[in-house]
Homo-oligomer: A and B are copies of this chain.
Amino acid sequence: MSDDRHRSEDGSETRSEDRSDTRSEFWCELVHTRTGIERDVVLTIADGRIETLTPDRPVPAGASVLPGLTVPGLANAHSHAFHRALRGRTQAGAGTFWTWRDRMYQAAGRLDPDTYLALARAVYAEMALAGITSVGEFHYLHHGPDGTPYDDPNAMGHALIEAARQAGIRMTLLDTCYLRGGLAADGYQPLAGVQRRFGDKTSDAWYERWSTLRGDENTRIGAAVHSVRAFSEKDDYATWTARTKGVPIHVHLSEQPAENAACVARHGLTPTALLDSYGFWTEHATAVHATHLTDADVATLGRTGAGVCLCPTTERDLADGIGPAGELARAGVPLSLGSDSQAVIDLLEEARAVELDERLRTGRRGHFTSAALLAYATATGHRALGWSDAGRIEPGALADLTTIGLDSVRMAGTVPRLATESAVFAATATDVTHVMVAGRTIVADGVHQLVEAVPQSLNASVQALFGT
């Protein structure tokens, strides 16, 4: 299967409308590269990739001018698109994590392929406006309300792929295997209520459905196990891992202490150790959250080459706690970032939160450089989603670029040599002015070029879901 998954990487399935086939030229005021800030940069782009990068040049005739700081396109490595409908609504009164999850299930119960396409298209357009050029959609809303598959068993996944295509961003569909309703003291629970939409009944049935998904030039097919709560040892981790070898695989890991306690009680192992015993952790694997880890868990992730996707604004919102970002980084674990619950869609806020939360946790400043934090939002984020050629600005890389304006009140006072610091610590999604994917401009002057009236589209989709 992995050959099929990767076949599209060589461009053999290129769809001409999704790429720029002509050479184009841009002049960027400032560019963040792996070696630092370059000024007055001429970029030439051909066939969706950066061809040349030349600093210290005047504006060439005919070049498009990008004032501000141009950074690699941002990778949102963990998204549940439909959670966007909950923004603001889960803050009424008090509530636990499980209360929040119950409300999330209410939303999950009401979507169908058409309404999910409309909602996700607007959500991905919001992401594009925030400078996100690739999204990892952790997708488990597979079937009809009672668990009956749609005529196209991947109707919902196809709706998400189409939504990303219409919004102009890359998609890695992390199609999720979700077989159990939870892990309690007396064992694994069956899927119940709206959870029936998530389930494929068996790991084999999940594989049968999953293996018919196809990527394209702007789409990768990845896979996920929801969590150790939703996949038991009887579901055969080893076969699942063998079947998904070589594609990006993700799993929610140790988000809450209760998950760890239940896993240890059942298996005598932490979730990290349990998955390790089945060979889940490789350089293709990403643990999402990884908030409550033992030292041994950190070492396991470091040893196996697995990555960790932090979702700080969601982890605040859901009271998960602050994960061991410093320990993970020191163990060599590649970190990536996700908007997850969509309480906030702003990867710059996620990036600075890694450092700021580490300051709160340790009582000390200065753990991560701004360049490292930006790499989590770009290069390592793309790596976690299987886009190894994106997330950096250099010849040969995919021409996915995000430009951050320096002319807002927030960014005023920025010095060019510290533009990355200002972008990571002071900019917000609002400061994103220009976004391109494979050399195609999808946001210009803060306006989406493919999706009209994004707020109104979001309003309409959310109202259709909940009523007023």
**Residues in B neighbouring A362, C-beta threshold 8 A:** 319
**CA–CA, A87 to B419, complex, Å?**
11
Q: Are A409 and B458 in contact (CB under 8 A)?
A: yes
Query: Chain B residue with minimal CB distance to A318?
Result: B365
Instruction: Give A336-356 as 1s and 0s: 1 = Cβ < 8 Å from B's Cβ atoms.
Output: 000000011100000000001
Q: Are A364 and B454 in contact (CB under 8 A)?
A: no
Q: Answer whether residue A62 sits at the interface, using C-beta atoms and an 8 A cutoff.
A: no
Give the residues from 40 to 94 in chain A that come closer than 8 angstroms, CB to CB, to chain B.
84-85, 87-89, 91-94
- Could you say which of B84, B89, B410 contacts A415, with CB atoms under 8 Å apart? B89
Query: Chain B residue with minimal CB distance to A292?
Result: B363
User: Are A316 and B356 also in contact (CB < 8 A) when A100-B365, A412-B456, A426-B88 are?
Assistant: yes
- Could you say which of B344, B415, B425, B468 contacts A343, with CB atoms under 8 Å apart? B425
Copies in the assembly, this chain: 2
Query: Chain B residue with minimal CB distance to A408?
Result: B455
Q: Are B413 and A85 in contact (CB under 8 A)?
A: yes
Q: Are B95 and A366 in contact (CB under 8 A)?
A: yes
* Main secondary structure on A side of the interface with B: helix
Q: Are A94 and B367 in contact (CB under 8 A)?
A: yes
Q: Answer whether residue A14 sits at the interface, using C-beta atoms and an 8 A cutoff.
A: no
Q: Are A317 and B359 in contact (CB under 8 A)?
A: yes
Q: Are B462 and A413 in contact (CB under 8 A)?
A: yes
**Residues in B neighbouring A316, C-beta threshold 8 A:** 356-357, 359-360
**CA–CA, A96 to B418, complex, Å?**
19
Q: Answer whether residue A407 sits at the interface, using C-beta atoms and an 8 A cutoff.
A: yes
**CA–CA, A451 to B365, complex, Å?**
35
Report the minimum CB–CB distance from A128 to chain B (whole Å): 10
**CA–CA, A458 to B409, complex, Å?**
8
Q: Answer whether residue A276 sits at the interface, using C-beta atoms and an 8 A cutoff.
A: no
* Residue of A92, A122, A424 ringed by the most chain B CB atoms within 10 A: A92
**CA–CA, A93 to B89, complex, Å?**
39
Q: Are B369 and A93 in contact (CB under 8 A)?
A: yes
Q: Are B359 and A422 in contact (CB under 8 A)?
A: no
- Could you say which of B89, B91, B319, B458 contacts A364, with CB atoms under 8 Å apart? B319
Given contacts A92-B421, A357-B360, 14 further A-B contacts (CB under 8 A): A85-B413, A88-B422, A91-B424, A93-B366, A95-B366, A317-B356, A318-B365, A319-B362, A343-B425, A407-B455, A412-B456, A412-B458, A412-B462, A415-B466
Give 8 nearest A-B pairs by CB, closest first.
Answer: A94-B366, A412-B458, A88-B422, A319-B359, A413-B462, A412-B455, A316-B356, A91-B421
A contact set with B: CB distance below 8 Å: 84-85, 87-89, 91-97, 99-100, 122, 125-126, 129, 257, 315-322, 343-345, 356-357, 359-360, 362-367, 369-370, 407-416, 418, 421-422, 424-426, 428-430, 454-459, 462-463, 466, 468
